Structure 1
Amino acid sequence: MNSPATINWFDDINRLLNEKSDVRSRDWAFMDSPYPLITICVCYLYFVCKAGPQYMKNKKPYNLNKIITVYNAFQIFACLAIIYGMLSSFSLTRFGCESINHSDKENSYRVARWTWWATLLKLTEFLETIFFVLRKKQNQVSGLHLYHHVSTLSLGWITTKFAPGEPTVIPVVLNCIIHVLMYSYYLIALYGGKELQKKIIFWKRSLTILQMVQFTIIIAHIGSSLRSQCTAPKPLLILMLVNILINYIMFYKFYKNTYKKNKKLIE
């Protein structure tokens, strides 16, 4: 049972975070406190790493093709909606530094709101890992997969909490474009059979390359924003940069181990 001192400590942290947060996002769903985010991430990791595999140990894999079809289609349309929403709300005039407009003006508010929707979409992506577990594809629940999902959701939450707006446009739009291609591939591969999967294997490899290209562009974008004359929030940009670099390294190792080794074996 939590002591009054512990409860007060949690309340103090939450109060401090709210004081520093963007006033526009304080009352949005999932944004009031970091504790739901932490709870969801802990439960997610516990289920996909321990509880889920134990539950499936003596069971046959579930056939989730219909559910996964709906899930993939939803992700595609949601990403397209976010791309349209972001680009119709904000005109990109330059690459790099974009200051945040914290006002309630229509376009600035819409960009902030679409940043929030993008964060909620990252929350739904946890289902992908749960599907792996229920289909007994535990080999796909890798460290890269888990880190990517948890870090992306967490960073999305932090961004929406403290600085939703203009600096997020390029990273969010790029990420959604990649995900449209990725979930389109998943949708085709799900029903294509082994022959079709062999024919479109280049697409899977290309998606990993495109992920790294995306990271490179975002790194350049953040680097430009870190210039001293840019008023974008530096701590958030540094956090984003560190996370992107970690993701880039992990994706490159995956690409090297998966595709370069396979190429050598074929040769």
Structure 2
Amino acid sequence: MDKNISGSFCELQGFLKMEIFNIKSSVALIYDEFIQNADSRTENWLLMSSPIPQTVIIIAYIYFVTSLGPKMMENRKAFDLKGILIVYNFGVVALSVYMIHEFVMSGWGTGYSFRCDLVDYSNSPQAIRMAETCWLYYFSKFIEMLDTIFFVLRKKNSQLTFLHVYHHAIMPFTWWFGVRFSAGGLGTFHALLNSIVHVIMYTYYGLTAMGPNYQKYLWWKKYLTTIQLIQFVMVTTHISQYFFIKDCNYQFPIFVYIIGLYGLIFLFLFLNFWYHAYTKGKRLPKVLQAQTWAHHTNGVMNGNADHEKYQ
């Protein structure tokens, strides 16, 4: 009887091992077929060999900012990062200015029609320049994860919203596929716009981090939400053209749907904020208006409208 049980157990073990092997083989086959359509120009660039390295980084980021980091800081004094924040924010401004220049010079100011612009997969200097700019934009999303790290180290736990963390995690993940499969064309317009907005937003952050003496230079903070709304309207309008242009043979239409959905989601979120903060909120006392403003902006699209980020 024991021998029969032992034999059955061994057979079950062998069956499970075979099934796991078959599943692994199927996944590997699907991945190989999938990756065959990737852009060979970018396969050896940093973090581009497979989505696994970036996935590990993103998981580590989520774990640190949602669990490990807050626990480590629970019984510690918040760090004073004023100098670091000033350098960081103006560093992001400089990087964003450079990416704007490169996006313009590699297509958006040198031949793109702002309609059905296809990806140029050639090895021409301009096509390579666009691909490199796309990779730099992708890599900048990892740099911007420091926004959340600084929240944790400064014990600004109220800023650690689901939306904020989700945004910082999903952007590099989706952009890996963009760089690996579609580095250029109409799918990069939102990156150009986002870089322009980041110049404005991170300039504001940098000036805020410099202290109360610079408050007089921040009179334009009330326009930050308007700038964001304009960004999402432009992104959604531009990408929606695809559905009305005949014979637009954009190589990876899936990215059109992703960008369009992303633009609509954040357009809705900012319109919701606008209603609560500037329409509904106008009927509240000033203190409650400020609280409503802060509540609805915390974490929204990088926390870009958060006027208390460095206070």
Per the normalisation by structure 2, the TM-score is: 0.77
> Given the superposition, is the C-alpha separation of residues 260 and 53 from structure 1 closer, same or farther in structure 2, using an over 3 Å criterion?
farther
Of 222, 230, 252 in structure 1, the residue corresponding to residue 248 of structure 2 is 230
Equivalent residue for 1:88? 105
Of 65, 69, 75 in structure 1, the residue corresponding to residue 92 of structure 2 is 75
Give the counterpart letter for 2:40 in structure 1. Answer: V
Identity %: 31
> Given the superposition, is the C-alpha separation of residues 25 and 188 from structure 1 closer, same or farther in structure 2, using an over 3 Å criterion?
same
Give the counterpart letter for 1:251 in structure 2. Answer: F
Cα shift at 1:138: 1.0
Superposed CA RMSD: 2.2
Local SS of the residue matching 1:99 = coil
Local SS of the residue matching 1:20 = coil
Q: Distance in 1 between matches of 2:141 and 2:269?
A: 19
2:103–2:192 contact (8 Å) kept in structure 1:
yes
Instruction: For residues 67-88 of structure 1, give each alpha carbon's deviation from its aligned partner in whole angstroms, at most 9, with x where no partner exists.
Output: 1122112101111111111111
Moved more, 177-186 or 85-94: 85-94
Local SS of the residue matching 2:210 = helix
Task: Give the number of aligned pairs.
Answer: 263
> Given the superposition, is the C-alpha separation of residues 92 and 212 from structure 1 closer, same or farther in structure 2, using an over 3 Å criterion?
farther
Q: Distance in 2 between matches of 1:48 and 1:9?
A: 35
The runs of at least 4 aligned residues of structure 1 exceeding 6 Å deviation read none
2:86–2:210 contact (8 Å) kept in structure 1:
no
1:215–1:244 contact (8 Å) kept in structure 2:
yes
Equivalent residue for 2:284? 265
Per the normalisation by structure 1, the TM-score is: 0.89
Give the counterpart letter for 1:231 in structure 2. Answer: N
Q: Distance in 2 between matches of 1:225 and 1:123?
A: 30
Unaligned runs of at least 5 residues, structure 2 = 1-16, 287-311
Name the structure, 1 or 2, with higher relative contact order (CA <8 Å, separation 6+). 1
Moved more, 98-107 or 248-257: 248-257
Equivalent residue for 1:19? 36
Q: Distance in 2 between matches of 1:124 and 1:16?
A: 32
> Given the superposition, is the C-alpha separation of residues 36 and 10 from structure 1 closer, same or farther in structure 2, using an over 3 Å criterion?
farther
Unaligned runs of at least 5 residues, structure 1 = none
Equivalent residue for 1:211? 228
Local SS of the residue matching 1:49 = helix
Larger-gyration structure (1/2): 2
